[in-house]
Chains A and B, each alone.
Chain A
Amino acid sequence: MADALPEPMVSRLPLAPLDLRVMVEDNVLIEAEDAPQAAAFANLCCGLLPLRAGTVKFLGHDWANTPHERASALRGRIGQVYGANSWISFLTVEANILLQQLHHTTVPAARLRDGAAELSLSFGLPGLPLTRPDELTFEDLVRASCVRGFIGQPRLIILMSPELERVADLRPALFNALAAARNRQAATIWLTLSHIVWNDRSIPATARLRLTEHGLVPGRALP
């Protein structure tokens, strides 16, 4: 992201240019003001916001100059951990989790299912949920969100669910998944609304930034 300035009418992002470079194995922790701003930033990273100026690239491809089909394929390599309202209600949780990988890859469905089941267990679920989203508890949906975000070995993972921080025993599994992603040379952007989380030194962040009216401002966690 170089001097990226989104159109002001379509986002809640600051009117200052945004600069960010996320390399492989980076885990960037960014504090946003509110959920819409965090969502807008995530959309910016995925090339979904029109820019007034500057560029946003992913894997060397400038989103603005990438044809629609290619851009969709590139987004297939981004895993996102969303909040509770991100589920397609007429599909099962299993179908929701596998949808992105089934669409963008030719990996056999059985293998994807096995991978998803393994991830589900690692995130504390008894298995891959086969029910509809409205039949799961809040905590289980949050865990399922993590499964959906990490499945398929994405190159970039964007965590932007404030609910992640409310499920107490999810942290160890999440940190393990982040470590595994780093070992695979993936990068992570963790968008948080909580100053406490942003200051938490146990989170293995390679950089801590704040999304302010002046753009992305680096900071340091308090000792």
Chain B
Amino acid sequence: MTGASVDSAAIAARRVLAVIGRVVRIRASFLLMLGAMSWGVLLEAGRPRSWRRTVRAEFRRTLRQAAGGGLATALVTAGLTGLALVAQALYWLGLTGQGELEGSLIVTVLVRELAPLLTGMVLLGRSGTVTVTELGLLRLGGQMNVMAAQGLDPFLLLVLPRTLAFALTSFTLGMFFVLGALVTGFVANSLLGAVQESLWTFFDHVLSSMRRVDFAMFPLKMLLIGALVALTACITGLTARPGDDAAVLLPRGFVRGVLAIMVASLAFSLAA
């Protein structure tokens, strides 16, 4: 083979690789952005210089909206879950003489799976969609360029505080969710006369059924789910294209958020 033919073969091979790479990059761009932003949040969150007063103010604002606004919804959902799951479990296990399983059943189903999933959904619906809308409007209206011209880094000012606020909110709402579901289920059963123990004994059964790793996994799972809800919402808003409107952005953000919650939940379940 001559040098020229080797060169042209190399150029052709590079072109083929570029085409394949472009397709893969486009498809993987969301995941790549998610990874990059997650890493960015971890890096910047640890730097005191990142936490200027504007960033702190945005963190407080988001926390107020997410936690304050989501608490009622989380508690109502917890109540319904308490009636649907906890009360049923206590009743039927009591009836079949297997009351000693109540703790492990509740921990396995409620604490490890349902609470993270449902809390994540509440956070996504109640606050994730707000983030998609806010950031999408900034992107489409050109205000993002204005911020850049003012030296305001959108990542620092918009993404970082939202991600951490959502993570904290997710953990907080998750705790309230579990507590609310347990109390509701217990009270419902007490009213039916199907409970032979006190509330504290019931709590003790649940706590005793938790493994040591559950005390670490549950908070970590809630924090990660909250962070992922924020990041998927931010990426959806920040990558809005001309022509996109709420009818396009909101479903896109919602589906991404749901997938992120379910993947995170599954990953933790398998790891545990």
Contact = CB atoms under 8 A, between A and B. Distances in A.
A85 interface: yes
8 contacts: A43-B149, A46-B149, A73-B151, A78-B150, A89-B134, A100-B152, A103-B52, A103-B152
A182 B53 CA distance: 30
Interface string A22-53: 00000000000000000100110010100000
A104 B151 contact: yes
Contact of A90 (B134, B148, B150): B134
A143 interface: no
Interface in B38-58: 52-54, 57
A74 B151 contact: yes
A154 to B, nearest CB: 10
A75 B145 contact: no
A182 to B, nearest CB: 22
B contact face: mostly helix, strand, loop, or mixed: helix
B152 A72 contact: yes
B53 A102 contact: yes
B173 to A, nearest CB: 22
Given A99-B54, A103-B52, A109-B53, A88 B149 contact: no
A73 B153 CA distance: 10
A82 B141 CA distance: 13
A76 B142 CA distance: 18
Given A46-B149, A88-B143, A100-B150, 5 more contacts: A39-B145, A43-B149, A78-B150, A85-B143, A103-B54
Given A99-B54, A102-B54, A103-B52, A87 B151 contact: no
B195 interface: no
B143 A87 contact: yes
A55 interface: no
A43 B145 contact: yes
A86 interface: yes
B146 interface: yes
Nearest to B135: A90
Q: Which of A68, A71, A100 has the most CB of B within 10 A?
A: A100
A72 B146 CA distance: 12
B143 A103 contact: no
Contacts of B153: 68, 72
Contacts of A46: 149
Interface string A113-132: 00000000000000000000
B168 interface: no
A48 B148 CA distance: 8
A88 B145 contact: no
A46 B157 CA distance: 19
B152 A78 contact: no
B152 A85 contact: no
A48 B150 contact: no
Contacts of A188: none
Interface string A57-78: 0000000000010011111101
A contact face: mostly helix, strand, loop, or mixed: helix
A168 to B, nearest CB: 25
A103 B149 contact: no
A192 interface: no
A43 B145 CA distance: 9
Contacts of B53: 102-103, 109
Contact of B149 (A42, A87, A89, A90): A42
Given A99-B54, A102-B53, A109-B53, A86 B151 contact: no
Nearest to B150: A100
B141 A85 contact: yes
A107 to B, nearest CB: 11
A158 B53 CA distance: 26
B152 A99 contact: yes
Q: Which of A46, A86, A109 has the most CB of B within 10 A?
A: A86
Nearest to A42: B149
A86 B152 contact: no
B141 A75 contact: no
B49 to A, nearest CB: 8
Contacts of A100: 150-152
Interface in B128-170: 134, 137-138, 141-143, 145-153, 157
A220 B124 CA distance: 59
A116 to B, nearest CB: 15
Nearest to A47: B149
A48 B147 CA distance: 11
Contacts of B137: 89
B42 to A, nearest CB: 18
Nearest to B137: A89
